[in-house]
Chain A
């Protein structure tokens, strides 16, 4: 009896493997090739904003002179249905204010001007040119777009392994530790929420850019401290600002080439 049982178990195991193996080619073929979509026009009704390399310049002085305000964070989190869990552990933030000491900890300088030491500056995903998060993602759920340099997120593909959260030197990425829907203050109907178990971050409002609108934080900043533009366009405002004033970036020594510049 024992020999037959071994044979039976072997047969059962091989059958299970065979069934699984037979099912997988179907999973690998792309069913969408049966769809005949008409040629897609990339332009929205009001003309998209395009660039070779999007970048943001943050004028720390203007932000600091305006005083304590959270407009950029409030606008971004409202437009993108970012939940508020009420505790720092589960917190999800796409853009937020960080103290100068925390944002630029490698610029340690005891004799910095007093206002600068106590100022808070907005920090967000830097959309690096050499993003460590893109390099480590095992499923390419985050990738650097070739057309404009935005580091994008695909929430359908993310498996929630949090390797990108570990790899990001700036802490720009947040993981959904719980179901976010009950914690969204005011749901905006035109942008999806995310589900628990995926990582999210700022996407430079690519869905607004395609409609010809600037990112929500840039539009919301009353001080005009956030400037958004194309680095490869020599006439853009970001290039002019960077040519006129001295700028620093966060943790430049790590080689990530961040594209958010801070004018101090």
Chain B
């Protein structure tokens, strides 16, 4: 199926090359940040979390929104949505990967990231955020692999995938709730400290 991605006309390839040029520039600038330190982002003592975390929060919302196309088909049996649920799952995978990338570039010592798993801290919401996002990624990879494979063969997907898909619906709600709780539990930030933050983020 990968050969579909390698076939295209001139417009397609110019778009791909433009995107890869952007990716290349981003990588080079990230290497500069890795060498010189995060000060080059313009963040400072007063604003410690900036565009990186703002974009991370937005993309978590996009990842959760995948559930919007899955919900009508599986929970409300609205058959017309049957063909596009797979798109929802792929959007979820892509945006969760972007989220993880944003976190990677935002922390000061990215290669110490595994410390979060080596020294689990249940009282920290950032720990639960990694669990929730990682679990969501795994769920969606499994679901999209199975359903896309079944569609490619022209048969219905196996029965056991249905509970997994049903699980991914509350899990999608939970990833954005956990991200909201990240901000909502901080007494130091009264603007964010409200119980209604999770529904606000989800909406």
Chain A residues at the B interface, C-beta cutoff of 8 Å: 2, 5-6, 27-28, 88-92, 132, 135-141, 157-163, 165-169, 171, 174-179, 196-199, 254-256
Contacts and interface: CB of A to CB of B under 8 A. Distances in A.
A132 to B, nearest CB: 6
B121 A196 contact: no
B1 to A, nearest CB: 7
A157 B103 CA distance: 17
5 contacts: A132-B188, A139-B116, A160-B107, A161-B106, A198-B108
B189 interface: yes
B186 A132 contact: yes
Q: Which label, helix, strand, loop or mixed, suits the secondary structure of the A interface?
A: loop
A197 B106 CA distance: 10
Nearest to B115: A139
Contacts of B46: 88-89
A89 B118 CA distance: 32
B107 to A, nearest CB: 5
A197 B121 contact: no
Interface stretch (B59-67, B77-85, B90-98, B124-132): B124-132
B186 A166 contact: yes
B102 to A, nearest CB: 12
A194 to B, nearest CB: 10
Interface size class of B (residues with CB under 8 A): 35 or more
Interface in B126-148: 126-127, 130
Nearest to A170: B188
Interface string B174-192: 0000000010011111000
A140 B182 CA distance: 16
A238 B2 CA distance: 72
A198 B116 contact: no
B43 A160 contact: no
Given A138-B121, A166-B186, A174-B45, A179 B116 contact: no
B43 A177 contact: yes
Contacts of A161: 103, 106-108, 126
A175 B45 contact: yes
A87 to B, nearest CB: 8
Contacts of B3: 2
Contacts of A135: 123-124, 185
A139 B119 contact: yes
Interface string B1-17: 11100000000000000
Interface stretch (B21-29, B33-41, B159-167, B194-202): B33-41
B124 A177 contact: no
